[in-house]
Structure 1
Amino acid sequence: MKIGILTQPLHNNYGGLLQAYALQHYLKQQGHIAITIDFKKIYKPKLWGIKGITINFIKKYILRQNIPSILPLNEKKISQHTAKFISRNIERTQEITNPNQLKILSQYKFDAYIVGSDQVWRPAYSPGISAFFLDFLGNDTTTKRIAYAASFGINNCDEFSTEELTKYSLLAKKFHAIGVREDSAVNLCKNHFEVEAIQVLDPTLLLNKNDYINLIADDLPQPFTCDMLVYVLDKSMEKNKVINVVSQKLKLEPYDFLENNIDNIYASVAKWLKSFSSTSFVVTDSFHGVVFSIIFNKPFIAIGNKDRGLARFTSLLKLFGLENRLITSLDEFDSDILNIPIDYTKVNEILNKEQKKSMNFLQKALNDK
């Protein structure tokens, strides 16, 4: 079967790149032709002056946001490693920069479209969200419409207008099967879109640890290890205090992955993976940071990231019985948790069971008439 995958734009987001890679790789393993639709937004260059630099200075040094530089950066230069990963590992359609151009996909003659993963059904994260409900297929009733691990990111639909809920409810009813990533999304689909959905795994969890080790071996010839991995997307003084407590109590040297980017160039995906596979402990506020801690069976502390979507964390950790690894503030952090090992025998048993469920969902969705 020839399948078009529609997900968030491929950029410098490690988790976003790896979920896109994982779904395509898995589908190809099953004998399908899978191509990711290169749907992206073209950003207009900012007018850089004193005002722009001042704003970025405040964001970086006062608000402690993860901004590589207060000055404009060469996008091609800082993305050279992630662009290489995309080029080598993700087969794509021609570039599409406007939802109106999606109609040209008819030339690919896809038998099915799979929407997902990541927060494709969150308006704040998806300016062209109608595309993720496959509105460009119009009245086409022969092409299969499937959602796999589609995510709202949050546990409500408050970001949708009443008109949007009505519109997308009609489009959702045209889907042949809907799999969502968070448990709360099952109810959102039922209550707001009047469709049935089941919870499935993030695509990265369809692959096993060895699949990612092979990616590392293919692209990271130099040895690399880190004592305690810090992968924090949104810096704050409170998060720094958590990192310091963990470091001191475990007597581990923290390695801040993003702070160690050379010349503000994003490190390779292979190095990102290697940092998880080689570390002794992980502190992260990233959803996929938690996912890859689990994949590589690493002890971790997850700092809930409300703005980026807390439901993603709570749903994932609840699934694996790891809710005690999540904190949302320094006041919640009991350092005694650092002395409690994660039972990865039990976690891996749950993962194997959920993998079978998710794989069966995809197989049934693609094969049913």
Structure 2
Amino acid sequence: MKLAGLTWWRNNYGSILQAYALQEELNSIPGISYEIINQYGKKIASFDNLIDKIKTIGIKKTIQRIFWKFGMKKLRNRSFNIQKFTDEKLRISSNQYSEDTIAQANKKYEGFVCGSDQVWNPTLTDINSMYWLGFSDDIKLRFSYAPSIGVDGVSEEEAKVIRKNLRRFHGVSCREETGTELINNIIGTNQCRTVLDPTLMVEKSVWDKLCPESKFKEPYIFVYMLRGTKEQRCMIEKFAKKVNLKIITMPFMEPEYAVWYDFKFGDFKYWDAGPDEFISVIKNASYVFTDSFHSSVFSILYHVPFFTFPKVGKAQMSRIINLQKILNIDSRMVYNENDINCVFQKKIDWKSVDEILDGKRIISQQYIRKVIRKYDEGICL
């Protein structure tokens, strides 16, 4: 069966790696051939992508993004290595589709998967977008894998559209419990399941094979701040002095939230890391400071004590808090210097975390296989 996935696969390390994880899991199932829909051109610097960004975020922010991806040689090197990874590791459809042409994909694929990432967040994508699979023919397999909806509620009008879309699905899942509860309230059943983010759903061996050796020989703190403030970075510097460790950082990851202090911050700036090197620098760190969901994920997978700064936006916070909650990890959230000391004292029971993950991994993997069986039996929601 030839399946196509509709997800975000180029925005940042997390998006790319979640897309890679779901690709690897689906292609490990006998009889399944899966690839990712190319909805905005295979190259970061494409004309189609430029036009799309201008339409969605405006000219000013588009110019800002172009500068922070290509304005300096070090940033161009980062973009090059991210592009290299996607070219070599992701199976992207040779045909490019848009909202206007996505229905043509029915000719090529027997089924469609939407997710993961925040593709169902109505503040980021339209509820009539391709990510809800409304374009697919009735005979096609349709299911979601761990999309995030990112809001606490929707209007009745939005709920009607969502119900209409999901009525044709053979399986529905969300990444967060809050999303699952909202979807179940909308459709009036308990058919929606909570599953792991794809990066947690695959076996750790997938990442071990992908992960290169560490470039750094001495112990270090890794800091991956997508947003945040100068004050937060100063707190990290004090902690680094306390534990006598160097700081490795990846500056300027989100153009709209650039902190100029990043030019000064850190003992080594890892400008040009690809997604695989992003995993490696987390795996080999002594501590991780972050406001990112996926850097928290890889810290957990590799048993690295991590500190989480709050990230602007409720949708951003809920997924990080939910992750700690489902794994029974005491809060790692940091709001001030005292919190850093408190979190530092909290030891994570990694054996318990691994046991919980193993159980939820089985549930998540079984969900996909059950959905495929339901399709074979002609059962929809």
Bin of the TM-score, shorter chain as denominator length: 0.7 to 0.9
Task: Give the Cα separation in 1 of the matches to 2:114 and 2:133.
Answer: 8
Task: Give the Cα separation in 2 of the matches to 1:86 and 1:348.
Answer: 29
192 and 276 in structure 1: CA distance in 2 versus 1, 3 angstrom threshold = same
Task: Give the Cα separation in 2 of the matches to 1:339 and 1:181.
Answer: 29
> Is residue 120 of structure 1 aligned with residue 115 of structure 2?
no
SS in 1 for 2:303: coil
Of 181, 195, 203, which aligns to 2:198? 203
Give 1:348 shift. 0.3
Which piece of structure 1 moves more, 343-352 or 303-312?
A: 303-312
Task: Give the Cα separation in 2 of the matches to 1:71 and 1:337.
Answer: 37
Where does residue 14 of structure 2 map in the other structure?
15
29 and 248 in structure 1: CA distance in 2 versus 1, 3 angstrom threshold = same
Task: Give the Cα separation in 2 of the matches to 1:239 and 1:83.
Answer: 31
SS in 1 for 2:139: coil
Of 243, 255, 268, which aligns to 1:250? 243
The aligned amino acid for 1:357 is: I
Give 1:83 shift. 1.2
Task: Give the Cα separation in 1 of the matches to 2:196 and 2:311.
Answer: 20
- Consecutive unaligned residues in structure 1, runs of 5 or more: 60-66
**Deviation readout 1:38-84 (Å, 9 max, x if unpaired):** 123722387xxxx969x96xx9xxxxxxx837959999765211111
The runs of at least 4 aligned residues of structure 1 exceeding 4 Å deviation read: 69-78
Alignment of 1:31-70 (within 5 A): 31=30, 32-40=32-40, 42-44=49-51, 68=68
Where does residue 216 of structure 1 map in the other structure?
211
129 and 84 in structure 1: CA distance in 2 versus 1, 3 angstrom threshold = farther
> Is residue 189 of structure 1 aligned with residue 195 of structure 2?
no
Task: Give the Cα separation in 2 of the matches to 1:252 and 1:75.
Answer: 26
Task: Give the Cα separation in 2 of the matches to 1:141 and 1:12.
Answer: 31
Where does residue 2 of structure 2 map in the other structure?
2
Task: Give the Cα separation in 2 of the matches to 1:299 and 1:129.
Answer: 41
Of 357, 364, 369, which aligns to 2:370? 364
SS in 1 for 2:50: coil
The aligned amino acid for 2:237 is: N
Of 295, 298, 302, which aligns to 1:296? 302
334 and 130 in structure 1: CA distance in 2 versus 1, 3 angstrom threshold = same
SS in 2 for 1:304: coil
The aligned amino acid for 2:22 is: L
Of 172, 182, 195, which aligns to 2:166? 172
SS in 1 for 2:145: strand
**Deviation readout 1:291-327 (Å, 9 max, x if unpaired):** 0101111111111214252110111110111142123
**Deviation readout 1:316-359 (Å, 9 max, x if unpaired):** 110111142123x2277251321222110110000101101111
Where does residue 80 of structure 2 map in the other structure?
80
Task: Give the Cα separation in 1 of the matches to 2:321 and 2:166.
Answer: 25
70 and 89 in structure 1: CA distance in 2 versus 1, 3 angstrom threshold = closer
Contact 2:228 2:311 in 1 (8 A): no
Give 1:30 shift. 1.8
The aligned amino acid for 2:343 is: I
Where does residue 279 of structure 2 map in the other structure?
273
271 and 334 in structure 1: CA distance in 2 versus 1, 3 angstrom threshold = closer
Task: Give the Cα separation in 2 of the matches to 1:356 and 1:135.
Answer: 29
Contact 1:130 1:168 in 2 (8 A): no
167 and 276 in structure 1: CA distance in 2 versus 1, 3 angstrom threshold = same
232 and 76 in structure 1: CA distance in 2 versus 1, 3 angstrom threshold = closer
Of 142, 145, 149, which aligns to 2:142? 145
How many residue pairs are counted as aligned between the two chains? Answer: 341
249 and 224 in structure 1: CA distance in 2 versus 1, 3 angstrom threshold = closer
TM-score by length of 1: 0.83
343 and 125 in structure 1: CA distance in 2 versus 1, 3 angstrom threshold = same
Give 1:215 shift. 1.1
- Consecutive unaligned residues in structure 2, runs of 5 or more: 41-47, 252-261, 263-268
**Deviation readout 1:106-129 (Å, 9 max, x if unpaired):** 231x22211110001102222585
Alignment root-mean-square deviation, CA:
2.9
Of 307, 314, 327, which aligns to 1:320? 327
The aligned amino acid for 2:146 is: A
SS in 1 for 2:295: helix
Contact 1:304 1:326 in 2 (8 A): yes
TM-score by length of 2: 0.81
Counting aligned pairs with the same residue, the percent is 26
Contact 2:307 2:340 in 1 (8 A): no
**Deviation readout 1:259-295 (Å, 9 max, x if unpaired):** 6254xxx421121111011111100100001101011
The aligned amino acid for 1:275 is: V
Contact 1:12 1:82 in 2 (8 A): no
